[in-house]
Structure 1
Amino acid sequence: MNPRLADAGLAIAVTLVLAVVIAADPVGRTSFGGYAFALGFGLILLVRRRLPRTTLVVTLLAIFAYYTLDLPPVGMVLPAIGALFSAAEQHRTYWAVGSAVVLLAVATYFRLDGSEPEATLNGYTFVTELALAAAAIALGSAVRLARESRERTAQIAALTAAEESHAADARMQAERMQIARDLHDTIGHTLSVASLHAGVAAEAPDAAAARPALDQVRAATSDALRELRRTVKVLRSDDASGPEPVQGLAALEPLFAAARTAGLRVETEISVASDALSRSVDAAAYRIVQESLTNVLRHSGASTVRVTARAVEGTLALRIVDDGTSARGSQRTGAGIRGMQERADLLGGTLTAHPAPGGFIVRAEIPARAGGES
């Protein structure tokens, strides 16, 4: 409801109730002054939200002035119910309770004074005014608590929405990084192989000698195109029915074969059971070996590379060593090395890559069951 309309409604209600009580005076007194006060008690409520304590104090003083002028009795609490309600609603509960105590104390004092026999202490009247004051304060407090509860609920909903949005952005960024790493590793490897074979074909003395190299170029570029199509299909698809199949250590042989056809001697020692690694670790190991071979082919000028993989006491240990020129090792510390380190870090492992005597070495240690998979 519009706050102004609510304030106007409360002001009208208080004014009408007091006017009815004044009109029903058992002595038969009628007073325009009494009606004027009734209107004033209502009008002061129009500023109750901005000035709750001022509204309460002015109402109390007006009640005392009302009875000083010997106007028709309307009770001590009834004219103040709007102000008491407003003070409690605006978090001025102590002021409301204190004002109610003052009103009841003053009313009790004058009833005990005995100067007006018809106004002697009446237990029923006292309890009625006490209950009226308590009800006004309790209702104001309940309205305030309900409003604060709605505000807290709205804040929690806003924070939850912001957190969900942040989590969604983080997931999207992680997916983008994963796609970037996969594309870099796969496309970089296949294009490096294609480049090497293209060089061989260019240097071949005749077409017959160049044909095998060109076949390797064709195969490598076909692999790159398949990977691009698969990635684009994943990006365009709204179907999340299941994960894409991942390549692991068991799928390394085609990489080794491609490197061998490019003139690189590849020695392998893969001592990892098929069920020893979780899917994410197996896929990361494949990508690390793939990127390492790409770097060897692209940068090192090596003639031999040795790939070792072991799973010991719940940890996968990878070691890729080549005999390439150490002086060119700085060229192998770009996005590929960062991508491998990110893969290892995400799974709780470590990866180092640096020149070694007579070549270059990549070491990785990753928990075999990382990634929350069994």
Structure 2
Amino acid sequence: MKNNCYPLIARVKPIISSGHTGLAIFLLFIGLCSFIYTATKGLQSIEQIDLHNQASRQALQNSILIGETMSLVKDIETGQRGFIITGDESFLLPYKHAHDLVQETNKKLKVSLAADREDGYSHERLDDLMQRRIRHAEFLIEQRRKNGAAILNDPSLYLEGKQMMDEIRQEITFLQNDQMSLSAHRIHQAQEVQEHSMNLNFWLSIWGTALLFVSAMFLIREKRIRDLAQARLKNSNEMLERVVHERTLQLQHALQRIKKFAMELDENIEAERRRLAREVHDQLGQIFTSLKLVMLGAKGEHKAETLKEKAEEIADLLDEGVNVARRISSELRPALLDDFGLSAAIEHYAEAFINRGGPAMTIAILHDSTLTPQQANQLFRIFQEAATNVLRHAHANRMWINGNFDNNVYHFIIIDDGVGPQQIRKDASGVRNMRERATLLGGTFEFGPAEEQGTKITVHIPLQLEGGA
């Protein structure tokens, strides 16, 4: 900039000797050169501040990506551990979800860190640790499936996985601290550039006497631009922090809900097993005992009429045993659900439900062929839970069960004409179980009063159709 001003200075030197006019022109020229120089530096400062702010935002985004990667690795660890301890495949849901995403997230993290760091940080160690941990988890799951609970007696299998998780946590902690330090450093650099630019503007107000007004206008405009950029950066950082905090709370809440639902589901399974065991013992046991007594009574008989009566009794007992076995099998999982779909299974269940003293039912299930087996099963379980609640609490005379498909969403509605929603007990799990089943399908669950009288339950399940989005 000084070199560019030298030719002009040489031209205006003769004018200085002409008195106040020449001096004013000279000072004006000096002020103009100072303003041009300062304006140039100001634009460079804005660019530097923007670069530092971008680097700071990138560091914060990297920190979030690092946290997501660690969260996925923890999901793999939690799912594997839960499955090894219980042998329940449902514990592998977070493991499978994280296993599908961790590779892509790790790849994004690797690319982002390689582009952001100036010291050429190598991601190979973290990548190698994560790959080893995933393979070790797959190995433990395979061993649990092959050897059963015997794997729990070999603590050496867990020690290697724990060591790898400790090393991964150490590496993740190092990366997060490094990114936060980098963000703070970039912000500090931006502040230094801003302070330097403001000092330069202060001296401009002294040197640019003749151009004070014009210079002030430009300086105000420049300051507004910088303040706006700083305000946007501040708002962006605050919003990013809020999003991270809210997302963390959501993930924690979701994890607690999954754990609680899994425990309640396990308790319900155990309770159902005990009930079925009692039914098998009380009903089938009695039938077989009676069958044995009849056969023992027929053993010493020689009269044809008596033997015929005994044979008829045996046939009746066998028919009763077959009916009991079929009823128990149907309660475990209706065969109609797999063979003929949701509508047939609900109608079959409703017939037995009404015979046990339940309210009358009006059923209109349409387009149930669009449902996957898992979706049909979960909706059937929601219907079972709702029917049980109506029988226990609603004092209803009729229920309406409707299902229909519209705009890639399956709508499942249950209405009764009972007393309506009551205050839910803290230990009650019926509504919570229905809501969790809908959530597992990626859908929504609504529970509230019906339009006229009673209770209304609405479930919306998104569908993936062939050739659809």
- Larger relative helix fraction: 2
Larger radius of gyration: 1
TM-score, scaled relative to structure 2: 0.31
